[in-house]
Structure 1
Amino acid sequence: MMSSWSRRRAAVAAEAEKEDRAAQEAALVQEHEALAEKSDDEILESLGLPDPDSLAMGDDFKAFMSKAVPEHIRKRALRHLWRSNPVLACVDGLNDYDDDYLAQSIGQDPLKTTYQVGKGMLAHLLEVERQKEAGPVVAKVEVEEDTAEDVTETAAATSVDLPEDGAAVEEDPAPLTPRRMQFQFEDDVA
């Protein structure tokens, strides 16, 4: 717990730091105003910086990131940096922000979806319900009399759903049950 004297001392230090930052910002604004009247070559000469267009790949661009450098010269240096280094200039298409998410909404062929506002993916669910109400269609199998009992039991066990046009539909395989690993140790075997 801080005493009142410690809090007051911390507040005075914070206030002094705030005043220092304000003085630095005011000096920076005055510097930028003085540089605004000069041409780019004069600004670069007064700051002791080389021409950003003359720099090549591998040169140091850190000097242009100083707060004393005007924004338009900083941007000019960064543009030249991006052009000078092929790694920085390479657009590989893996950036999330590269995609144009409005392309489908303003294109000639609008995006088709079954989603309905407030109802979700309703069309798919309605189709599933319609199929449940229609019920499965069981195929009839004609066989000879001597094996009729065996086939009747097999047909009853496995029914085949037929669509309305009469073509057979393949059944989905039974869902796989997850297997569990079992370990046996030499002590357990004996």
Structure 2
Amino acid sequence: MMGADFWSRRRAAVRAEAEAEVAEAARIAEVQAETLRAKTEAEKTDEELLIELGLPDPDSLKAGDDFTAFMSRAVPARLRNRALRKLWVSNPVLANLDGLVDHAEDYTDVATVMPDMKTAYQVGKGMLAHVQELARQAEALANPQPAPEPVAEEPAPEEAPEMIADAPEAEAPATPAFTDTPQDDDAQPMPRRHMRFVFADSH
């Protein structure tokens, strides 16, 4: 039983390899034919190609004419582009863009569509940080925290005015009174004398 399964898988693999080889050979032949055709078309003029394909001159077309014949794969790219340019000019809707066409911008590189564009997307994390911030804000709104009471600041102690003790006035030296002898400035002061009064007895 196991041998039959093995040979069945082997035959299927051989068929797949043969089909892949045929498809690759067909692709190579198509590429070669396309290259040869492009080379042959490049050597011919537009008028010669239009006659061979049985197509009218694209510049002679006007609004309402059938442009679909130029969309065929057998038509060279340069003839197709001429027909498309004539189509845009012949149709006012296509020729006069009002700037409101959403798909008129170049979206080949999304990062350059808007200059200086910033995003919360992080490689490997996606929009995780943005989602976490939204969740935090929602939780803060649902459970508001009471505002802390303001702490009264203690006033700074006023500096006590500097108490300057009045220096005691030096006691002025006593001036000797009723001295009979003059004194020099450098001489020591004489001791104070007391006057004595004697009254005679009156009879």
TM-score by structure 1 length? 0.46
Specify which structure has the bigger relative contact order, considering alpha-carbon pairs within 8 angstroms and separated by 6 or more residues: 1
Query: Over alpha carbons, which structure has the higher Rg?
Result: 2
Which protein has the bigger helix share? 1
